């Protein structure tokens, strides 16, 4: 069974029509779905680093970060039916979240 190749409206990448929803590829769907959680992860990580420099207890913040990562995993699993692909998307999103923690956003 063959599927049509379409261009994603989000990133412009050419993907199979079976891998799109509303003209948007799975990568872009996942990225959009977890954007708010990535921001929350970065905020909590910076908070933990700030508390750590003041020698405060950061155990609770670590648990909050773990809960956010669990919520990211749940959203990825909802969008990606294939387990192997879901793990790959989750790995990429967690790397992006961990990399975003040091980005400075203009207000």
Distance CA 94, CA 107 (A): 24
> Under a CB-based contact definition with an 8 Å cutoff, are residues 19 and 26 in contact?
yes
Distance CA 46, CA 23 (A): 35
Within a domain: residue 63?
Answer: yes
Which band of pLDDT confidence, cut at 50, 70 and 90, is reported for residue 94?
confident
Within a domain: residue 35?
Answer: yes
Within a domain: residue 76?
Answer: yes
Within a domain: residue 62?
Answer: yes
Within a domain: residue 9?
Answer: no
Closest CA to 35 of 72, 89, 87: 72
Closest CA to 15 of 4, 28, 31, 1: 4
104 has a pLDDT exceeding 90 = no
Domain around 77: 26-100
Within a domain: residue 87?
Answer: yes
16-28 pLDDT per residue, tens = 888 888 889 998 9
Model's pTM, two decimal places? Answer: 0.80
Total domain count for the chain? 1
């Amino acid at each position: 069974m063959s599927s049509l190749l379409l261009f994603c409206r989000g990133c412009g990448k050419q993907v199979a029509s079976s891998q799109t929803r509303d003209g948007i590829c799975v990568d872009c769907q996942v990225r959009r779905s977890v954007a708010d959680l990535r921001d929350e992860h970065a905020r909590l990580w910076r908070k933990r680093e700030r508390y750590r420099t003041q020698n405060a207890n950061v155990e609770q913040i670590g648990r909050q970060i773990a809960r956010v990562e669990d919520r990211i995993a749940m959203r990825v699993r909802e969008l990606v039916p294939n387990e192997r692909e879901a793990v790959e998307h989750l790995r990429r999103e967690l790397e992006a979240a961990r990399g975003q923690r040091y980005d400075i956003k203009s207000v």
